[in-house]
Amino acid sequence: MVISSRIFLEFILAVIVIAAILLFIGARFFRFRNRRLAVITAFILFCVAFLWIFQSHFQGLLSVMPFFAAKTTPESFSGNVFYRSESGARLFTTLILSMGFLVSIYNAEYLRKEQRQHTFYPLMLMMMAGVIGMLWAADLLLVYLFSELMNICAYSLVAYRRKSNEAIEAGFKYLMMGSVASVIILAGISILFYTAGTVQISQIDLGRNGLSQLGALFILSGFCLKSAIVPLHTWLPGAYSKAPSTISALLSILEQSVFYVMLRIILSIGMPPLLLGNLFLIFALLNIFVGNLMGIMQKNLKRMLGYSTIAQLGYIALCFAIGLRNGSALALQSGFFMIIAHALTKGLAFLGAGTFYHYEGLDNISEIRALHNHPLFSIIVLIVAVLSLSAIPPFPGFTGKWAALTSVFAANDPLAAWITLAFLIGSLIAFGYYLPLLVNLSGLILRRNLQNKNEEPQKKISVWIKLPAALLALSIILIIISPQLILNNTLDAAQFLMELIK
Amino acid sequence: MNQQEWIKIFVLMIKLIGGIVLLTLGKRFRNHARWVALAASIASLALFIAYLPALQAGDHTPFELNYMPALGIKLSLNIDWLSFPFLLTEEFVTIFAIIYSLGYIKTDDRTHLFYGLLLFFSAGMSGTTLANDIFLFYFFWELMLIASAFLIVNWGESEKRSATALKYFILTHLGSLFVLVALIIVYSQSGIDHFSQLWQAFQINPGSLQLVGSLFLIGFGVKMAIVPFHIWLPDTHAEAPMPVTIMLAAAMLSMGTYGILRFPMGFFTFDQFAVFSFPLMLFGVISEIYGAVIALVEKDIKRIIAYSSVSQMGYILFGLGTLTIYGVVGSTLHVVYHAIVKALLFCCAGWIIKETGKRDINDIRRVGRGRLLLTVCTMVGALAMAGVPALALFNSEWLIFSSGFQTPYTVLAVVEVLGSILTAAYILRFVGLLFFAPGKETPTREITPLSVKVATGILALLTVIAGFFPAPLFNYVINEVPLLFGGKW
């Protein structure tokens, strides 16, 4: 008896949620310190990620358990709650679980000076459960519920440094805008329920019904806000810059999962791919230009990275737009490739930026560039990330763009020349902020070499911070050595979307 | 893998490995970093020379490595007669730049980083000429840019270095992006990314022919600093430390010529490329005259020589535009000779700046007194630049001018020849003001290190030798002709 991915998913969701609750209770009663909490979280996430990645080897495990074994017969549980196999969601789940694991290790040192860690880790776990549930839910209402779970945790995590007014402000702004988005999505879902009589994504068909199309539009715009499509992006830079770095790293995957879920829902309920592709093209151009232009003006490192996330989402949307317009699997593949590459590099960038906050208490680039004794490791980590983000060959950021451009020309898109132009102008503008950052960072290295005779003792970077950053950097080097490995893994996801397009 | 493939890899890898070692471990042996760099660059040249017999025997099998099969990307390295003159130039210039900097760059706590980046810069240029596939070509093309930008940012000579480097990076990167788009269009329409196969199997949609050609020419024109894309060059050359300036002016500018020869001229048929003949010649003449006129009025001696590069690149572009065999061969020879002479002139300028501490040509007087070697070397360089017979640049200029008259655009050829008078004019002003103008002798501030003198002397010797014996190089370079225009020229 083969157990479907769906049952496995329920098992994993259950583990994460139960772990979150137990962790909260445990931390409350046994007064766990930060490091122990972080290690427990990391251990749980490691086990879950391990089970998830190698799930085909563990399926026998579940059939032994009575509760899950009972449900191995399909349809026993009120219709299709979760997708049975959904390659795109699987990819995102793998990403978010692995990033969660790395981030938890990082937190062991990073959150040492903060307070109330016993709320942090359970909230983080719940947020991840929300993302995973949202990705897999086959039912609009469930998508809504899980996305609410995710967002509510995200709001409170963004405002986690509650002593700082700015963090509260950022979290509150995120909450306000997110709630509006939720209401709009809920309205869209109700309209669709009214017209179609069901909330099952696979059973809804927009057809030519004007009301249904309005509902779809509501859902689209709500999710646009949650995934920071310009001009609904204003919550993002603040949230990214004021949240703890580890949360920012998770948020950048989260935002793209929302984007992907939006794409899948809208496509499945029957919006014409060409129309959606054209819409995405507009989103993409807006995001690339606004993100990159605003990035130039930023003085705060993490805020700049936030704007760079907006721009990168634009590139990803552009890939999907090409795929939707031309039905090109290669373009979709390059979109997924960019998602993976961006998740890893942005994660690395935030982990690198976090060291400046943690060790020096600095966030502004003008202050960071004046440092002269910052540990080499974190500077190099940040340089690697920025090189990849600014699409310098052979870093993954470049390989993704190369694949995207190849797919534009291979698909013979009528707008190929203009799309290419947008791509290039966007990346050229982006150099306006990546390059000064690189220059400043290289200056830091040189200054370290000049002044290492002074009395100030060298700061040592904790191994808790080094390990996850090194793992992420290694994964980037792995992609440099063999991008084919990643590209092969995106094939299933691209084919899944191709079926929806047809 | 056979011996030839290993050589191809290691011509490149020795510099890359040297660079990585210097950047990571260089701190331990900071005082010996320069010797590591010198050894790596000499070993690279030695390996390249060891490959010559195979090249003459006609070995054209590239080294290959599967990278991204889904996108058809196979990494590949090759040396053929088209890359030969450029690789030779680049290897020699690197060695001279490193010898020059042995004494010129003071050893301090970051010297190892300087030499590491210098090796990366050099590896970027070698890789550009060695690369046999689109992906690798673009990778090394960018490596060259990034390494040089970092060198300028951190070792620039004035406070404006960050702004200069930013300008340099953004402008030349814009050019690179043009090249990238053209490369991707070529790849997506032909389905092959290996130059060694592509130049015969090249197919292009007639509609995008002119687009691709223009993208390539503009992209490489930025690298060659052709007017009006030259604006990055004078600042960058004036700002960079002297060894980097030597590499920029002598070696990196020629990469643009390599790109034009390799891509549009290598892949298009003669008829397809013929439309670009007139624009190339026209912009060649404009660059030549513009560069010379500005060089005539500039005050900073580094900027004078920098503008003379703009002018010389004009000659090269003109030669390429003639689309005659001797014009193209002459341009390629001009690249090699220009590299020698330009490196020589910058060496002399560095020497003068080091001794007098001044850069304004009006403040330096009678610099030749008591410095016989400097006087002779500068004279040789200046006369060669002015196109005096029996010195290097004369031979190639002769080829370029004479083929200019074989084209329908005789007027341009006449203007080109007349424009070379301006070259002589700014060279005479340069030499005259420095050595012969009346005035009090500028006092010596600092004694020039031996390594600077050695590098300058050898380069002057090479200029004379290259002028007297053009035949060997000519015989090598002419082998590139069958590789142009899809082999159907």
The pLDDT score that the predictor gives to residue B281 is 94
The pLDDT score that the predictor gives to residue A455 is 58
Q: Where are the domains of chain B?
A: 270-489
Tell me the helices (H) and strands (E) count for chain A, helix number first: 21, 0
The pair of three-digit structure tokens given for residue B12, joined into one six-digit string: 């490149």
Chain A residue with the nearest C-alpha to that of B154: A443
CA–CA gap between residue A196 and residue A190 (Å, rounded): 10
The pair of three-digit structure tokens given for residue B286, joined into one six-digit string: 């404009």
How close is the nearest chain B Cα to the Cα of A234, in Å? 28
Please report which confidence band the pLDDT of residue B35 belongs to, taking 50, 70 and 90 as the band edges.
Answer: very high
Q: Do B71 and A402 touch (CB under 8 A)?
A: yes
8 A C-beta contact, residue B361 and residue B436: no
Mean pLDDT on B106-114? 86
Nearest to residue A138, comparing CAs of A205, A216, A201, A215?
A201
Scanning B71-132, the segments in alpha helix (DSSP H) are: 84-104, 111-130
How close is the nearest chain A Cα to the Cα of B164, in Å? 12
Cα B104 to Cα B84, B350, B451: the distances in Å are: 30, 9, 8
The pLDDT score that the predictor gives to residue A1 is 36
Q: What is the DSSP letter of B63?
A: E
The pLDDT score that the predictor gives to residue A11 is 84
Nearest to residue A172, comparing CAs of A199, A186, A154, A197?
A154
The pLDDT score that the predictor gives to residue A6 is 58
Cα separation of the two ends of chain A: 32
Q: How far is CA B334 from the centre of its chain?
A: 11
A222-244 tens-digit pLDDT: 999 999 998 899 999 999 999 99
B315-331 tens-digit pLDDT: 999 999 999 999 999 99
In the predicted model, is pLDDT for residue A178 greater than 90? yes
CA–CA gap between residue A150 and residue B114 (Å, rounded): 49
CA–CA gap between residue B163 and residue B173 (Å, rounded): 15
Q: Do B146 and A483 touch (CB under 8 A)?
A: no
How close is the nearest chain B Cα to the Cα of A411, in Å? 9
Q: Which of A428, A452, A482 minimises the CB distance to B173? A: A428
Q: Which of B66, B177, B185 minimises the CB distance to A424? A: B177
The pair of three-digit structure tokens given for residue A397, joined into one six-digit string: 């950021």
Q: Where are the domains of chain A?
A: 274-502
> Which of A55-59, A463-467, B365-369 has the highest mean predicted lDDT (pLDDT)?
A463-467
Q: Which of B67, B169, B187 minimises the CB distance to A435? A: B169
Q: Do A487 and B68 touch (CB under 8 A)?
A: yes
Scanning B357-449, the segments in alpha helix (DSSP H) are: 372-385, 392-404, 410-431
Q: Is B411 on the interface with A (CB under 8 A)?
A: no
CA–CA gap between residue A219 and residue B247 (Å, rounded): 58
A301-348 tens-digit pLDDT: 999 999 999 999 999 999 999 999 998 899 999 999 999 999 999 999
State the DSSP H helix or E strand holding residue B77, giving kind and residue range, or none if neither. strand B73-77
Q: Do B113 and A449 touch (CB under 8 A)?
A: yes
- On chain B, the residues whose CB falls within 8 A of the CB of A393 are 135, 138-139, 142-143
B475-488 tens-digit pLDDT: 999 988 888 888 77
- On chain A, the residues whose CB falls within 8 A of the CB of B128 are none
Neighbours of A436 (CB within 10 A): 17
How close is the nearest chain A Cα to the Cα of B110, in Å? 6
Average pLDDT of chain B?
90
Q: What is the DSSP string of B320-338?
A: HHH-SHHHHHHHHHHHHHH
A149-155 own/partner pairs: CB under 8 Å, 24+ apart: A150/A254, A151/A178, A151/A182, A151/A226, A153/A123, A153/A124, A153/A126, A153/A127, A154/A127, A154/A178, A154/A239, A154/A247, A154/A251, A154/A254
Higher pLDDT, B185 or A454: B185
Q: Is B69 on the interface with A (CB under 8 A)?
A: yes
To which residue do tokens 């370029």 refer? B400
Can the peptide bond before residue A468 be classed as cis, meaning omega within 30 degrees of 0?
no
Q: Which of A394, A399, A406 minimises the CB distance to B187? A: A406
In the predicted model, is pLDDT for residue A47 greater than 90? yes
Percent of the residues in chain B that have a pLDDT greater than 70, as a whole number: 100
Main-chain phi, psi angles of A452, to 5 degrees: -80, 5
Chain B residue with the nearest C-alpha to that of A394: B139
In the predicted model, is pLDDT for residue B4 greater than 90? no
CA–CA gap between residue A43 and residue A349 (Å, rounded): 24
The pLDDT score that the predictor gives to residue A68 is 57
Cα B366 to Cα B279, B369, B378, B436: the distances in Å are: 43, 6, 13, 6
Q: Do A333 and B27 touch (CB under 8 A)?
A: no
Percent of the residues in chain A that have a pLDDT greater than 90, as a whole number: 62
Please report which confidence band the pLDDT of residue A2 belongs to, taking 50, 70 and 90 as the band edges.
Answer: very low
CA–CA gap between residue A251 and residue A96 (Å, rounded): 10
CA–CA gap between residue B227 and residue B289 (Å, rounded): 10
To which residue do tokens 């053009």 refer? B470
In the predicted model, is pLDDT for residue A117 greater than 90? no
The pLDDT score that the predictor gives to residue B233 is 94
How close is the nearest chain B Cα to the Cα of A359, in Å? 24
CA–CA gap between residue A178 and residue A159 (Å, rounded): 14
How close is the nearest chain B Cα to the Cα of A104, in Å? 30
Q: Do A427 and B177 touch (CB under 8 A)?
A: yes
Q: Do A409 and B189 touch (CB under 8 A)?
A: yes
- On chain A, the residues whose CB falls within 8 A of the CB of B27 are 449
ipTM: 0.87
Please report which confidence band the pLDDT of residue B368 belongs to, taking 50, 70 and 90 as the band edges.
Answer: confident
The pair of three-digit structure tokens given for residue B370, joined into one six-digit string: 């008591």
The pLDDT score that the predictor gives to residue A76 is 40
Please report which confidence band the pLDDT of residue B21 belongs to, taking 50, 70 and 90 as the band edges.
Answer: very high
The pLDDT score that the predictor gives to residue A75 is 45
Q: Which of B138, B181, B188 minimises the CB distance to A393? A: B138
Residues 6+ apart with CB under 8 A from A168: A159, A162
Q: Which of A406, A427, A446 minimises the CB distance to B154? A: A446
The pLDDT score that the predictor gives to residue A184 is 96
State the DSSP H helix or E strand holding residue B209, giving kind and residue range, or none if neither. helix B206-224
CA–CA gap between residue A63 and residue A74 (Å, rounded): 14
CA–CA gap between residue B339 and residue B334 (Å, rounded): 8
In the predicted model, is pLDDT for residue B168 greater than 90? yes
Higher pLDDT, B335 or A73: B335
Q: Do B109 and A333 touch (CB under 8 A)?
A: no
Cα separation of the two ends of chain B: 34
Q: Do B166 and A439 touch (CB under 8 A)?
A: yes
Q: Do A450 and B27 touch (CB under 8 A)?
A: no
State the DSSP H helix or E strand holding residue A263, giving kind and residue range, or none if neither. helix A245-268
Q: Do A431 and B170 touch (CB under 8 A)?
A: yes
State the DSSP H helix or E strand holding residue A356, giving kind and residue range, or none if neither. none
B418-461 tens-digit pLDDT: 999 999 999 999 999 999 888 888 888 888 889 999 999 999 99
HEC profile of A38-105:
HHHHHHHHHHHHHHHHCHHHHHHHHHHCHHHHHCCCCCCCCCCCECCCCHHHHHHHHHHHHHHHHHHH
Nearest to residue B170, comparing CAs of B263, B237, B120, B236?
B236
CA–CA gap between residue B344 and residue B393 (Å, rounded): 13
Neighbours of A499 (CB within 10 A): 8
Mean pLDDT on A479-486? 90
State the DSSP H helix or E strand holding residue B486, giving kind and residue range, or none if neither. none
